[in-house]
């Protein structure tokens, strides 16, 4: 993004979370907690069904930040987040954000963003702050 200013909205990322994607993430991450992959186990849990891995959902924030800030995010990005709610299969998630502050110095600027992942219903799944440094 060029000519960024406070209150600018970041380009959003939308995804449909499927059982297949959850299993693919389990295979890629090595996280085979039964709450993510075992229907019988998950039915007996507080959630009543399989839930997506929290870090799988959080990855949509990093994808959004990379889309918006390219290599600056990869080289200098920082993320603080809180997990608020589980995501179930066949739910659509939307990662979004807004620039909340820009700190300028002679050689660089730090762009601070509020970031969220929400379900299509509007329920917040993850909230947090992401910052990135850009050299001038």
* Residue 58 lies inside a defined structural domain of this protein: yes
3-state SS of 83-108?
A: ECCCCECCEEEEEEEEEEEEEECCCE
Which tokens go with 65? 């930040």
87-108 in b/e form (b: 16+ CB < 10 A) is: bbbebebbbbbebbeeeeeeee
Each residue's pLDDT expressed in tens, for the chain with a length of 136 residues: 457 888 899 999 999 999 999 999 999 999 999 999 999 999 999 999 999 999 999 999 999 999 999 999 999 999 999 999 999 999 999 999 999 999 999 999 999 999 999 999 999 999 999 999 999 8
**β-bridge partners, 126:** 83, 117
Question: Is residue 101 domain-resident?
Answer: yes
Structural domain includes residue 74 = yes
Tokens, residue 62? 């990093």
13 vs 24: CA distance, rounded Å: 19
Residue 48 lies in a domain: no
Q: Which domain holds residue 108?
A: 13-17+54-135
Give the pLDDT score at 2: 56
Within 8 A by CB and 6+ apart from 107, the residues are 135, 136
The answer to whether position 95 is within a domain reads yes
At 90, which CATH number?
Answer: 3.10.129.10
pTM over 0.85: yes
> Which residue in the block uniquely carries the two structure tokens 């179930």?
88
Angle at 52 between CA 49 and CA 56, to 5 degrees: 175
Counted domains in the chain: 1
């Amino acid at each position: 993004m060029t000519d960024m200013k406070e209150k600018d909205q970041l380009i959003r990322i939308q995804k449909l979370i499927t059982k297949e994607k959850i299993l693919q993430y389990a295979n890629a991450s090595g996280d085979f907690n039964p709450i993510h992959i075992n229907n019988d186990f998950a039915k007996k849990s507080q959630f009543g069904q399989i839930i997506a891995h929290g870090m799988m959902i959080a990855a949509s924030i990093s994808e959004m930040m990379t889309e918006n800030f390219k290599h600056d995010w990869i080289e200098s990005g920082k993320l603080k987040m809180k997990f608020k709610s589980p995501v179930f299969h066949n739910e659509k998630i939307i990662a979004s954000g807004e620039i909340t502050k820009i700190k300028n110095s002679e050689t660089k600027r730090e762009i601070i963003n509020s970031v969220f992942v929400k379900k299509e219903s509007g329920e917040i799944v993850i909230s947090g702050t992401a910052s990135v440094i850009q050299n001038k």
